[in-house]
Amino acid sequence: MSRAPSDRLRQRLAKISEQHRSALDSFERLLANPNASFAELDAADAAVKKLSAGRTHLMEDLRLAQFEEPDRFGVYRGRAGQRPMREVVLDMADELGVPVSPRLISDYAVATLGLSIPPTRFGSLRRDEERAYQRDAHARPAWLTPAINAAGLAAIPRLIASSAWEPERRLIAARTLRVNHLKALLALLKKSSTADERVRSALVTPIGRFATWLPVGAKLNLDEVAEKANAELASIEQEDKERRIAAARELMKLTPAFQLWGRPGLIEGGEMSRARAIG
Amino acid sequence: MRASTVDSRIAALRGSLGPEEPGARGLERVARNPECMRLRALTIVGVTPATAAKEIYGEPAREEQSPFALALGNQFEKNLFDNSAAKLLQLYRDAGRLTTNECKVAVIPDLAPPLSSDPRKLLVSLGRRQSETIRLLRAKAAGNKDAPNIIIKPRMFVRLLGIGHAIEPDALIAADADRFYRPIEVKSYPDRAGKTDSADVRSACRQAAVGVVALREAIREFGFRDVDVAVPAIGDLVLRVPGSMSAKLRSMTLRSEAASLERAIDEAPRNLDELEAMLAPGASLDDPLILDQIPTSYRTSCKEHCALAGKCKQQACAAGEPAVIGDMARELLAPAGTVTRALDLMNGRGVPPRTAEEVALAEQLQEAFSEYRRAV
Amino acid sequence: MAVDLETIARLVAFDKGKAVPIASDLQIVIQPDALVLCCIALAGEDTTVHVVACGSIGKPAEFLSVPDPRFRDDQYDLFAWIGQRIEQYYADCRRRGTHPQIWVSSDAAVKHLDVLSDRLRYNRERADVRRLGELLTYATERFPVGGQQALYAATSALRQHYATGQQAAEDAHLGTLLTWIDPPRKTNILAAVALAEQTPMGMKTDPEFDRTKLDPVVRAYNEARRAGASTAQLKRRAQNIHDALMTVVSPIYDATQAAVEILRTRWPRRLLTAPQLQDREAQEFDNFMQSRDNGFFLPTRDKPKAAALKLTEREIALQTVEAAVCIGDRVALAKARLAGRILEGTIENPRRVWVRPRVFESTFDLISSQRVLRIRPRDELILLTDPRQRVLVRNVERQGRRTRVQLEIIKGKNAVGLPSASSIQVFTPYVPDWNSLTQARIQLAERLAVQPWTHAENGAMPQRVPSQLPEPADLLAAVEALR
C-alpha cells in the first residue's frame, strides 16, 4: 500500500527524534562523567548536532509537503507485467555478446528499453542464480554466470556471461578484456545503426565512453569508430582466441558446476599471506 | 627476526589498541621525518598518528578529506579504471608507452570475491587479491609473454620488521620489453605543469616510492639479484587536467624517496630494540605518559602528513624547542638548545655562555639584536 | 650560517607573545579603492567558485553563491557576476590613469585566482566568462613580479611587516597571523592561535564542515533537483547552502579587511619609492589593457623569446625593489648589513693622488666590523646617501675581527668628493634604477631578434668561427670586464 509522502516524513521524524533523544542522553551521561575525554564529548556533541540538523530539514520538508501535491516524489514505475530481471539481463548480455560489467548492462538497458536496473542489484542476482543452479541445474535453459579466468579457471564475478555461450566465450585470457571491450563497442554501434532516434541518442554516451581514443567533446562519427575498433580487433583477436580455446579445453575437464561457476580460487600460503583483515 | 616473536613484542608495545595497517601513506610518512622516533614507534607497532591522537591523547578526530574531494577522486579513478581500464590504456598509448598489441590488462579486484564486512570473508577476498597479484608478478618476472601490461589495484607487501604490510598501489605498468613493472599513482590533483602544487606532487611521489619498494621486495622473493636495475626508482603520476576528468601522465624519478624509505625500513629492527630499551618493562604506547617520553622532531612539514603535529607542537612549545619558530631557527639556535636559553644569550642574562659554540652564538645574537633594535 | 634578523624578530615575538615589526616603513602601496575578493571553491574542484564575497576596502561585501558549482550554467552566471564588478573597477582605474589592486586572504587564494584565470580565459562558451579570465590574468601574471601592486595576499603583506613567534609556514593562515598581531588579552597566545587555526582562511572549506554541514545540504538540493522539485523548494534548499557558505566566507572577508586596515592605519611611513612603484604599475596596467583592446591573444605558454623577456623583467624588478626597500627601510638596511650585502664602516686614509695633468685618483680605506661581507675585488659599489658616487673595490683584507676594504672613487669624485676620515659610510651594490627595465627590454629585443640556434626548430649547432681579435693579456680581467 502506497503511503502519502507526509506519512513517510512523519515516520522518519519519529525515528530521528528517538535517535536525537538517545544521543542527548549519551551526551549528558558523558558530561556527568569526570573521566570522559574532550574527544568523547566532542564526538557526542557532533552526533547530537547532526541529528538536530536532520530533524530541522525533515520538519522543513514536512512543512512544504503540507502545501505541495502529494504525488510528486520521483517517477514511479509499475512492476506489473515486466519480465524478471534475470531474463532482461540475459537478453542484454546476449546482445552485447561478450562478458560485460553490470554497469554496461545497466546503461544498455536504460538506453535500449528505458528500463532502470541499478548495478547494485547484480550482486544479489548473482548469488540467487548460483543457489538456484545448485538446487536444480536443469531448472532453466540458461544461467547468468560469471566470466572465468583463463589462468586458474576461477570465477571473475564482476563480469557477467551466459551459460548458453560456448566455453571460450566465457573465458578471459590476457588480452580478452581489451578484445571484449572492442566487441562490446561494436555491439553498441550495431544496435545504434538499427535503432530509432531515442535509442540512438541514448547510446551516444556509452559509445563515447568506449571509444576512448576520441578527444572529449569530439563529434561522433560512428563509421569511423567502427573502422578503428575493427582494425584494432583484427590485430589482437586471433592470438586471444587461441589462448581462450586452449583454456576452454582445460575448463571442459572440470565438473559441470565448475565449468559454469569456476573453480574455487586458491590463496597462496606463506608468511606474506597473513593479510590483516583490517583495511 | 622471527615474525611471531616480533609480533608479540609489537603487540605488547601497542597495549590495548588494535593493530592498523599503515598502508602506503603510513609507510611513506615514516620516511618524511626520519628523526621523529615517536612517528617511527607508532608505525612499527601498527598505530596510525590519527588513532594515537584520538585514542591515546583524547584529541577530537578531525576529518582528513572532504566528501566532495573524495567523491571527485573516486570518480576520476573510476573513470580511468572503468571498462577494463580503457582510458588508462589509451593514456599510455597516446604517450607512446604501449603499442596496440600491449593491451593486456588485469583488474585484481575483479579476480577476487567482493570485499565484505564479515572478517572471514574479507580475509578470503584479500588473500585472493594477493595470490592473483603474486601470480601475475611472477609471470612477468619469468618473462611470460602473457604477463599483463597493466595491473589495476595489485595487493603487495612491504616488510617492516619481518611483517608484511599490505599496500595497494593504484596500478602497475610494464611494456612487453620492460623487465618488470613500475608503479602508477592516480591522483585527482590538478596538473598545472610547472604550477602544480608541490605538496601534492611530493605526496604522490612518496606513495609511488612505496610501490617501488614493494616491487623490489617482490622481485627479490622471486630470486632476482639486480633489483635496482629491474625496478628502477621511477613511477608514473596520473593527474587530472584542471576542470575536467581528463588525465595527464608524468614520469617521475623517485630516487631520494625510495632511498629514504628503504633506509627507514632497514633501521626498523634497531628502532624496535631502541624503543624497548627506552621504556620501562611492561610499558606500552597506549599510555599518553609513555608516548610522551618518546622523542619527537617537530618540523614545519609535520602538519602536512601527521595528525599528531598539533600535539607535538604543544610539547615543543612547552619545552621551548627552537623548531617552534622554524626549521632555520632549529639549526641556528642548536648550540643554545632552547628558545629560553637563546633569549638569555641574546639579552646577556642568566648563566654566561658555557661552551665555545654558545659564545659564538651569543655574539651573533647580540649583534643581530642590536641591529634589530636600532632599526625598529 | 649566520643568525639573521628574521630569527631574532621571531625570538622576540615568541618571548613577548605578540608579533613584532620587521619593517620600519609600509612596504606596499595600498590603493584607496582596492577590491577585496574572497572566493571559496568546492573541495577538490579548483576551477570552481562556490561562494564569493566582493567589496572595496573598508566597505561591506556583496555575496553570491551557487547551490552546486558543478552545474556549469549556474557557475558561469556567478563568474559573469564577478566579471561585471571587476570590469567596472578596471574601467574606473583606466579612466583615472591609475591601476587596480585586488586583495585576497592568502597565497592559497592567489593560486585559486591563478587557476581560474588560466582556465577561464580560454572559455569558448561564454564571452563574459572568458573576459573575467582575461581580467584576472592581469593580476595573477603580475603577482610574481617584485614590487607589483596589482594583487596582494593579506598574509604575505602582513608578513612583510610583522614577525610572529611561530613557523613561517604557519603564517600562511590569516587567522593565526592576525591573532599574533592582536592577541586577545589574558589568554595564552598559543591557545588563542590553536583556536584561530580551526577557522578556514583560504579558498577551501574545512573537511569536517563539508561532511557535517555542506554535503547534506548540497545533496538535498541535488536530490530535489533530480526529483523535479518546485522552484520554491529548490530556492529554499539553495538558501540553506548559501547560509552554510556564509559562515565560511564572511570571516575570511572580514579578516582580509582587518589585515588591510592594520597596514593602512599602523604604518604611517610610506616607502620613498612608493610613487615610482605606482607609476610602474599604472604603466603595466595600461599596456595590458591596450593589448586586450587590440585583440592580442594571451598565450598558454610563452615562446622562448617572450619567456626570456619575462624572466629578465622579473629579475630586474626584484633587484630594483630590493634596492628601493633597502634605501628607505631601516630594517631592510639592517638585514642587508647583517647578511653582508651592503658595506658599512669607518673611513680611513682618504687620499687624492695626482696621476697626470688634470687627472687625480681618489682612494680611501673602509674598515668594517661586519661579520659577513659579500664583496670582492673589482666589485662596484654605490654610496647609499648619494648615488652619484660610485667606487671600485681594489682590495679586501681580513684583519682579525675587522675587514679593511680599499676603495677607489670612479664616479662622483667632484660631485660628491672624498669622504672625511673617521666618518661612517654605507655602500650598496644596487640602487633602484627605474629605467633599467626599459633599457633591458630594448637590449633583449635586439639580442633576440634572431632566434638562438638552441631554440630554433631543427636548430643545428653553428660552425666554429675562430675570433679574429688578439688574445687578451689578462684573460680574467677580460672576463670580469663583461660584468
Cβ–Cβ gap B367/C166 under 8 Å: no
pLDDT at site A65? 65
Q: Which H or E element spans position C141?
A: helix C127-142
pLDDT at site C432? 84
- C268 Cβ under 8 Å from any chain A Cβ: no
pLDDT at site A3? 54
Q: Which H or E element spans position A240?
A: helix A222-251
Q: Which of C212, C219, C231, C241 to mutate to test the interface with A (most CBs of A within 10 A)?
A: C212
Name the 3-class secondary structure at A56: helix
Contacting chains of B (3 CB pairs or more, <8 Å) are A, C
- In this structure, of A33-47, B1-15, C235-249, C279-293, the range with the lowest mean pLDDT score is B1-15
What are B302-348's pLDDT values in tens digits? 888 899 998 999 899 999 999 999 999 999 999 999 999 999 999 99
Q: Which of B66, B245, B331 to mutate to test the interface with C (most CBs of C within 10 A)?
A: B66
Task: Write out the DSSP string of A146-162.
Answer: EEEETTT-BEEEEEEEE
Please state the rounded mean pLDDT for residues B264-288.
87
Measuring CA to CA, how many Å separate B144 from each of A154, B70, B135, C342?
Answer: 20, 37, 11, 68
Cβ–Cβ gap B192/C207 under 8 Å: no
What are B140-164's pLDDT values in tens digits? 999 999 999 999 999 999 988 778 8
Residue C191 lies in a domain: yes
| Residue C263 shares a structural domain with residue C381 | no
**Comparing C-alpha atoms, which of B251, B246, B253 is closest to residue B91?**
B246
Structural Rg of chain C based on CA atoms = 28
In angstroms, the separation between the Cα of residue B376 and the nearest Cα of chain A is: 43
**Comparing C-alpha atoms, which of C42, C163, C54 is closest to residue C105?**
C54
- C124 Cβ under 8 Å from any chain A Cβ: no
Residue C284 lies in a domain: yes
Name the 3-class secondary structure at A28: helix
Above 70 in pLDDT, residue C331? yes
Encode burial over B156-176: b for 16+ CB neighbours within 10 A, e otherwise: bbbbbbebbbbbbbbbbbbee
Above 90 in pLDDT, residue C326? no
pLDDT at site B4? 61
pLDDT at site A278? 32
Above 70 in pLDDT, residue C315? yes
Above 60 in pLDDT, residue B16? yes
Name the 3-class secondary structure at C254: helix
- C15 Cβ under 8 Å from any chain B Cβ: yes
In angstroms, the separation between the Cα of residue A159 and the nearest Cα of chain B is: 8
CB B154, CB B169: distance < 8 Å: yes
Residues of B in contact with A154 (CB under 8 A): 111, 128
Please state the rounded mean pLDDT for residues C231-240.
94
- A64 Cβ under 8 Å from any chain C Cβ: yes
Residues of A in contact with C212 (CB under 8 A): 46, 49-50, 53
Burial of C264 (0-12, 13-18, 19+ CB in 10 A): middle
**Domain boundary residue, one of C406, C428, C450:** C428
Measuring CA to CA, how many Å separate B178 from each of B207, B235, C402, C416?
Answer: 22, 14, 63, 73
**Comparing C-alpha atoms, which of C301, C109, C305, C202 is closest to residue B194?**
C301
- Bridge partner list, B166: B157
Cβ–Cβ gap C44/B188 under 8 Å: yes
Residues of B in contact with A236 (CB under 8 A): 100-101, 103
pLDDT at site B103? 96
- A267 Cβ under 8 Å from any chain B Cβ: yes
Cα–Cα distance for residue pair B149/B181, rounded to 1 Å:
8
> Three cell numbers at B118?
564479515
CB B212, CB B252: distance < 8 Å: no
Name the 3-class secondary structure at C290: helix
CA dihedral B157, B159, B160, B161 (to 10 degrees): 140
Grid-cell match 612518496, residue found: B206
pLDDT at site C314? 92
Residue C30 lies in a domain: yes
| Residue C168 shares a structural domain with residue C227 | yes
Q: Which stretches in chain A have pLDDT values below 50?
A: 1-2, 69-80, 270-279
| Residue C213 shares a structural domain with residue C69 | yes
| Residue C144 shares a structural domain with residue C251 | yes
Q: Which residues contact A261 (CB under 8 A, 6 or more apart)?
A: A130, A133, A145, A146, A155
Grid-cell match 589495484, residue found: B153
pLDDT at site C349? 93
Cα–Cα distance for residue pair C251/C264, rounded to 1 Å:
20
Which ipTM value was assigned to this complex?
A: 0.89
- In this structure, of A1-5, C54-58, C347-351, C451-455, the range with the lowest mean pLDDT score is A1-5
Domain edges within chain B: 3-63+267-300, 67-263, 322-375
Residue C49 lies in a domain: yes
Count other Cβ atoms within 10 Å, centred on residue C81.
Answer: 18
DSSP state of A119: G
Burial of B104 (0-12, 13-18, 19+ CB in 10 A): buried
Q: Which residues contact C388 (CB under 8 A, 6 or more apart)?
A: C411, C412, C415, C416
pLDDT at site C110? 97
- Bridge partner list, B151: B106, B172
Q: Which of A64, A66, A216 to mutate to test the interface with C (most CBs of C within 10 A)?
A: A64
DSSP H stretches of helix in chain B? 3-14, 23-32, 37-45, 49-51, 67-94, 119-141, 198-221, 227-230, 255-278, 288-293, 302-305, 309-319, 327-332, 339-347, 356-375
Cα–Cα distance for residue pair A162/A167, rounded to 1 Å:
10
Q: Which of B57, B83, B120 to mutate to test the interface with A (most CBs of A within 10 A)?
A: B83
**Comparing C-alpha atoms, which of B341, B300, B290, B334 is closest to residue B320?**
B341
Structural Rg of chain A based on CA atoms = 26
Cα–Cα distance for residue pair C388/C417, rounded to 1 Å:
10
* Number of domains, chain C: 2
Structural Rg of chain B based on CA atoms = 24
Cβ–Cβ gap A72/C229 under 8 Å: yes
| Residue C259 shares a structural domain with residue C116 | yes
CB C317, CB C437: distance < 8 Å: yes
**Domain boundary residue, one of C250, C280, C300:** C300
DSSP state of C429: S
Please state the rounded mean pLDDT for residues B358-368.
93
- Bridge partner list, C52: C39, C64
**Comparing C-alpha atoms, which of B293, B300, B332 is closest to residue B315?**
B293
**Comparing C-alpha atoms, which of B294, B265, B281 is closest to residue B165?**
B265
Q: Which of C225, C233, C235, C243 to mutate to test the interface with A (most CBs of A within 10 A)?
A: C233
Cα–Cα distance for residue pair B228/B243, rounded to 1 Å:
38
Q: What's phi and psi for A100, nearest 5 deg?
A: -135, 170
Domain holding C350, by residue range, is 342-428
Cβ–Cβ gap C371/B367 under 8 Å: yes
CB C328, CB C336: distance < 8 Å: no
Cα–Cα distance for residue pair A126/A124, rounded to 1 Å:
5
Kindly identify which residue of chain C lies nearest to residue A64, measuring between CA atoms.
C233
Name the 3-class secondary structure at C2: coil
Cβ–Cβ gap A68/C233 under 8 Å: yes
Cα–Cα distance for residue pair C291/B198, rounded to 1 Å:
32
| Residue C282 shares a structural domain with residue C219 | yes
Cβ–Cβ gap B164/A274 under 8 Å: yes
What are A2-16's pLDDT values in tens digits? 456 678 888 888 999
- A49 Cβ under 8 Å from any chain C Cβ: yes
Residue C107 lies in a domain: yes
DSSP state of C183: P
> Three cell numbers at C411?
664616479
Q: Which H or E element spans position C62?
A: strand C62-65
What are C103-118's pLDDT values in tens digits? 999 999 999 999 999 9
pLDDT at site A79? 45
CB A9, CB A61: distance < 8 Å: yes
pLDDT at site A273? 43
Q: What's phi and psi for B89, nearest 5 deg?
A: -60, -45
| Residue C14 shares a structural domain with residue C159 | yes
Mean pLDDT (chain B, rounded): 91
Count other Cβ atoms within 10 Å, centred on residue A196.
Answer: 7
Partner residue opposite A73 with nearest CB, options C220, C227, C232: C227
CB C175, CB C258: distance < 8 Å: no
CB C46, CB C112: distance < 8 Å: yes
| Residue C291 shares a structural domain with residue C349 | no
Cβ–Cβ gap A271/B164 under 8 Å: yes
Q: Which H or E element spans position B248?
A: strand B247-253
SS (H, E, C) C12-43: HHHHHCCCEECCCCECCCCCCCCEEEEEECEC
Name the 3-class secondary structure at A52: helix
Kindly identify which residue of chain C lies nearest to residue A49, measuring between CA atoms.
C212
Kindly identify which residue of chain B lies nearest to residue A45, measuring between CA atoms.
B60
Name the 3-class secondary structure at C481: helix
Q: How confident is the model at residue B6 (pLDDT cuts 50, 70, 90)?
A: confident
pLDDT more than 70, % of chain C:
100
Cβ–Cβ gap C232/A64 under 8 Å: yes
pLDDT at site A272? 42
What are B46-72's pLDDT values in tens digits? 899 999 999 999 887 776 789 999 999
